[in-house]
Structures are given as C-alpha cells and as structure tokens.
Chains A and B, each alone.
Chain A
Amino acid sequence: MSALQVIQPGPLSLLMDGGRHGWLHQGVSPSGPLDVLSAAWANRLLDNPAHAPLLEVSLGGVQLQALDDCQLAFTGAQMPLQVAGVAQHHASSFILRAGERLEIGYAQRGQRGYLAIAGDFAAPAVLGSVATQVQEGLGGLHGDGRPLQVGDTLRGGSTLLRTQRSVPWRFRPSLAAQVVLRLLPGGDVAAFSAASKEAFFAQTWQLSAASNRMGARLAGSALAEPPRLIYSKAMTLGAVQVPPDGQPIVLMADHQSMGGYPLLGWVHPLDLPALAQLPAGGHVRFSSVSLDDMQAEWRTFYAFFTP
C-alpha cells in the first residue's frame, strides 16, 4: 500500500466514488463526482473500476507528498501538474516516487480535477460509499464529511502499471466558457406559461457565483410567476427548479432529496459535467432532448466504463 501525505489541501478537495445511491428515502443525497466523465476516465487510465475512490479537486491548489512509489492519473479541469518540479501531461497517468511531491496548480480552464491512484484510495464507506458530503457530514477520509486537510494521509494503491496512458483527444472535455445543456422537459413544465417556457430556451443564462455542489444557480431575466406547488416531491439529479424569484437552479450531485419548487425538466446527465466545469459568469443555453435518446446515451456511457 502506498501513501500520500497532504501538504496543502486546496480550497475544496473531496474524496469521491460512484456516490451514495439507494438512500434518498432517508433524505441522503447521492453525492459523487460532479464531472462523472472525467472521474471515470481517471480511473480507466489506471485500470481501476469506474467508481473506484478518487479525489475531486475544486479549483486546484493541492500539494501531496508520496511516502511510497505510486501511479496516479489526473483528468478534468486544466490545472498545471508538476512532479518534483517537472511538468506532467494533462489527462494522463504518471508515476510519483517515494519522497517526491505532486503539485496541482490553480485551474486555468475548468473547475474540477480528478486524481486517481492505481489500486484505489482506501477510506471507510458510510452507507455504502466514501463520497464526501460536507453538509450532511458523511463520507471522506474520516467518514464525517470533512474535506481534505493538512496532515491527512491518503492511503491506497499498490500496483505500478508502468505504461503511461492518456485520454484520447476526442474524449477530452471542451472546458468552454459557454455550454448548451440538453433538457428533457417534464415535471411541472405544463404549469408554466408559454412565455416562460419560451424565455427559458431563448435566453443565455449566466452561472451564478452562488452555485455549489448542491445546485448550479442560473441568473438571467426572471421567468415570470412560476407555478406554486402545494406538496413537496422527491427530487432527482439534473432537475431544473424554478423558485419564486424566477432564476432556475439545476440540481447537482449533492442535491436535497425533496423539493417544493416547480420543475421545468431534467438536464441530460452527460451534460452535467460541462456545467460542473463552467466558471462563475459562464454562459448556459438550453436545447431539448427526448427520453429515449437520453437513456440510450446514458446506457452507452455505463456500458463503456462498466463492461
């Protein structure tokens, strides 16, 4: 087993895995990586299972020191990577020798980077998952939802694969400052006025700085008088809520399990990674997608990463 000592944890670095599924009925959010594509690729580069524990680094600013030799892979946001002062390729695997320091700089494009280790990081599973949910106090290195801290030691890994691998170019995220999200219209969409629906699809929204792992908050010209619901319903990933202020919120991995705001529909799960990588102030537009197309593509993703 190898170990990485945390010299500098960065503003928000969280241990993740496939997520805490099956506990929404107890009010527990699914959690898991915001950018499932980059996370799955990081593990794939090292022959790990797609949902193996890995580190989600928000914004960057992380320094880790190896206590033993290990093989790592880093994907997602473009954060400058250095091993013992030598720059490393992005979206690739690399070796970190005992005593060497890995420096992950601040993101130049994108928001979330993923660091995987050959042979997985070890952490206690809470309700079947190591995914860190800070607000709920669940998961992470100590099981209590704490983000990575100075003095923490990430343990795990064993195998050195030697061969260096990279994510093929065509599968790398675009990390553009504008994204088009495909929406499956549904939920309470019929209760919105025709003008509201038109305004939702016609305008370019801006990602608000108040966004977090629970929800991506969009700002634009308010959708007039969203309908009011009497009773809360169970919420799912990607739901687009419209609170009374008319500014939509896209529910992300740490979303609450119940909600009382009306829904316009759901964002395609394979478009959420691009939203997760978008910086505050980035532009968001919506198009629509059918359920059959959405399910077929989501299945293809699963089949590729979890054969």
Chain B
Amino acid sequence: MHLEPAGASAVQVLFDEAPSPALSERLAQLACTLRERVPAVDDVVPAWNSLLVHYRLSQCDYHQMVAQLCPLLEQWQAQPVRVTTAAALTIEVCYDPRVALDLPWLAEQCRCSVADVIAQHHAATYRVGAIGFAPGFAYLSGLAAGLAQPRRSTPRTAVPAGSVAIAEQQCAIYPRTSPGGWHVVGRTAQRLFDPQHTPPSPWRIGGEVRFVAIDYATFIAQGGQL
C-alpha cells in the first residue's frame, strides 16, 4: 500500500494487489469507514485497486490527513473480510437486434452465433469494480473471456442511453446518451442515475450484478426507446 498526493486536496491510496471481487468488497468497507470516522473527508472514490480521499483543506493539510488515515488503514488491513449478504442487483436487458447494435459483429469476431454471445453475456455474474467516467457509469468485471474484444477503433459519437456494452474484459451501461467506444450488446429501460434519488445510482462497489434477458415488447412496455 502506498499513499501520495493527488492534487491540491486529495490523497491517492494505491494497493499492490491486483483487482479482485474481494478487494472491491474491502475497499467499499474502507470507504464507509473513512467517511464516518474522518471529519475533514469530503469524498471517497474507490476504484479497481486504488482509493481516492478528497479532504477539506480548510480543516487539514496533506500531512495531517495522512497522519489521520494511516492508523485507520492499518486497522482495516488487519480486519478479516466481512462477507456482505446484499442481494445481487438485477438488470433486465433487451438483446433484440434493433437495440443490440454490435451483436452481429461480436458474434463474427468471437466465431460463434449471436445466440451464443447473448447466452454467454447474461449467464455470467458481474461485480462492480469502479464507478466513474460519467454519473452512474459502473465498470463491471466478470465478462466471459470468450467475449473480450478491444474497444472500437473509432468511438461512436452517440451511444444511446441504457446501452449495455462491453470492452476488453469489462461490461458497463451508458446511463445517458454519450460518445463511447464500447460494443453494444443490448439495452435496458432501467434508469441508472437519478439525482433526485438517494443514492442516485443503484451500484455498490464490490456488489453483484446479474442480467436477465427480456424481449423487445417487454422492453418497450417498460418505457424503453429505440
């Protein structure tokens, strides 16, 4: 573990271990502890194998913040992993060709049928590794190795909101229509970021995510749009 400044009022905590579901679960717990126990903390952002702590410079400087973090980090390292019993988040996905823009291309690249790609995509159990890039955008690990493909060489200027997309060994959903270079395998009508809601997004770092296939009629009935 290694701490370093990340700009004028943040500490980046970098972990030596490779990302894993167990580490994500532990980082989520660490983030909660730091929010509760360190008053000068403004925000805690866990990522794959790092964790950023934003603090209020009016209350402490970098050295004082590090001095407050160190004992808590040591305690955390000594703690056994608590297994959370939270239920998996279920997301209903429509894999219809009208919304699954890149399924034919992916099937060709993976040398299998479109049905195989769909089956492999929703059979897997995913975990939230990081939240970022855009509000409510979660990076999910757990994609079947056979589906891994590099990002598009030219990103789309507009990936429709709700698009379920994959790149490398990750899966994600675009909460809003935005530019993006991932391969779209389906679409959900579920809203994944609502600033009026607490919390604004359903994701939890380390949390399990499962996809359930729905047909086009159901997708449209749920408010899904082409």
Interface pair B61/A236, CB less than 8 Å apart: no
Whether A26 contacts B131 in the complex (CB less than 8 A), given A186-B5, A291-B5, comes out as yes
Q: Digitize B19-49: 1 where CB-to-A-CB distance is under 8 Å, 0 elsewhere.
A: 1000000000001000000000011111111
Residues of B within 8 A of A126 (CB): 195
Within 8 A of A (CB), among B132-168: 132-137, 139
Q: Which residues of B contact A25 (CB under 8 A)?
A: 31, 43-46, 131
Tell me which residues across on chain B come within 8 A of A233, comparing CB atoms. Answer: 12, 47, 50, 52
- The contact string, 1 if C-beta is below 8 Å from chain A, for chain B 62-98, is 1000000000000000000000000000000000000
Instruction: Give CA–CA (A237, B137) in the complex, Å.
Output: 19
Q: Is A294 on the interface with B (CB-CB < 8 A)?
A: yes
Nearest opposing residue in chain A for B179, CB measure: A135
How many chain B residues touch A (CB < 8 A): the figure is: 42
- Say whether chain B's binding surface is mostly helix, strand, loop, or mixed: loop
Of chain A, the residue at the smallest CB distance from B14 is: A233
Do A27 and B31 touch (CB < 8 A)? no
Q: Note all chain B residues with C-beta closer than 8 A to A291.
A: 5, 62
Q: B130 to chain A: which residues have CB within 8 Å?
A: 232, 258
In the complex formed, the residue of A with least CB distance to B200 is: A26
Cβ–Cβ contact A26 & B201, under 8 A = yes
- The interface size bin for chain A is 35 or more
**Most chain B CB within a 10 A radius of its CB, from A26, A257, A292:** A26
Chain A residues near B201 (CB, 8 Å)?
A: 26-27
Contacting residue for A186 out of B4, B131, B137, B176, CB 8 A: B4
* Contacting pair B47 A232 (CB below 8 A): yes
CA of A136 to CA of B95, assembled, Å:
26
Known A-B contacts A22-B43, A137-B176; A298 and B54 likewise in contact (beta carbons under 8 Å): no
Interface presence of A201 (CB below 8 A): no
Give, as a whole number of angstroms, the nearest-CB distance from B94 to chain A.
23
Whether B132 and A295, one on each chain, are in contact in the complex, defined by CB atoms closer than 8 angstroms, is no
Contact of A21 among B43, B48, B57 (CB under 8 A): B43
Q: Given B8, B12, B131, B134, which contacts A268 in the complex, CB threshold below 8 Å?
A: B8
User: For A22, A236, A298, which residue has the most chain B Cβ atoms within 10 angstroms?
Assistant: A236
Question: Does A200 count as interface, using CB distance less than 8 angstroms?
Answer: no
- In chain B, positions 95-137 with a C-beta closer than 8 Å to chain A are 130-137
Give which listed residue, A127, A137, A238, A258, contacts B8 with CB less than 8 A: A238
B176 touches A27 (CB 8 A): no
Q: A237-B8, A256-B133 are in contact. Are A127 and B58 (CB under 8 A)?
A: no
Beta-carbon nearest neighbor of B31 in chain A: A25
B132 touches A256 (CB 8 A): yes
Interface centre among B45, B49, B195, B199 (most CB of A within 10 A): B195
- Specify the chain B residue showing the minimal Cβ separation from A265: B7
Given contacts A231-B48, A233-B50, contact A257 B133 (CB under 8 A): yes
A301 → chain B closest CB, angstroms: 10
**B212 at interface, CB cutoff 8 A:** no
Do residues A232 and B48 form an inter-chain contact, with CB atoms below 8 A? Answer: yes
Interface string of A146-178 (1 = CB under 8 A from B): 000000000000000000000000000000000
> Is residue A202 within 8 Å, beta carbon to beta carbon, of the partner chain?
no
A27-B136 contact in complex given A232-B48, A257-B45, C-beta closer than 8 Å: yes
Question: Which residues of B are found within 8 Å of A231, using beta-carbon distances?
Answer: 19, 47-50
On whether the beta carbons of B132 and A234 are closer than 8 Å, the reply is yes
**Does B220 reach chain A (CB closer than 8 Å)?**
no
Smallest CB gap from B51: residue in A: A234
Q: Which chain A residues border B136 with CB–CB below 8 Å? A: 26-27
Residues A115-132 near B (CB distance < 8 A): 126-127
Q: How far is the CB of B49 from chain A (nearest CB, A)?
A: 6
Chain B residues in 8 Å Cβ range of A295: 8-9, 57, 61-62
The CA-CA distance from A22 to B40 in the complex, in Å, is 12
- Does A232 contact B195, Cβ atoms closer than 8 Å? no
The reply on A187 being an interface residue by CB < 8 A is: yes
Max chain A C-beta neighbours (<10 A), residue from B42, B62, B131: B131
From B31, B50, B57, contact of A299 by CB (8 A): B57
Bound Cα distance A218, B168 (Å)? 29
- Please, how many angstroms separate the alpha-carbon atoms of A64 and B131 in the complex? 40
A28 to B193 Cα, complex, angstroms: 10
Give 5 new A-B contacts, CB below 8 A, not counting A25-B45, A233-B50, A291-B5. A26-B199, A232-B48, A232-B130, A234-B12, A258-B132
Sorted from nearest, which 7 A-B pairs have the closest CB atoms? A258-B132, A234-B52, A234-B45, A236-B7, A266-B7, A257-B132, A231-B48
19 contacts between A and B (CB under 8 A): A25-B31, A26-B193, A26-B199, A26-B200, A27-B134, A126-B195, A127-B200, A184-B5, A233-B12, A234-B6, A234-B51, A235-B132, A238-B8, A239-B6, A257-B45, A257-B131, A266-B7, A269-B7, A302-B57
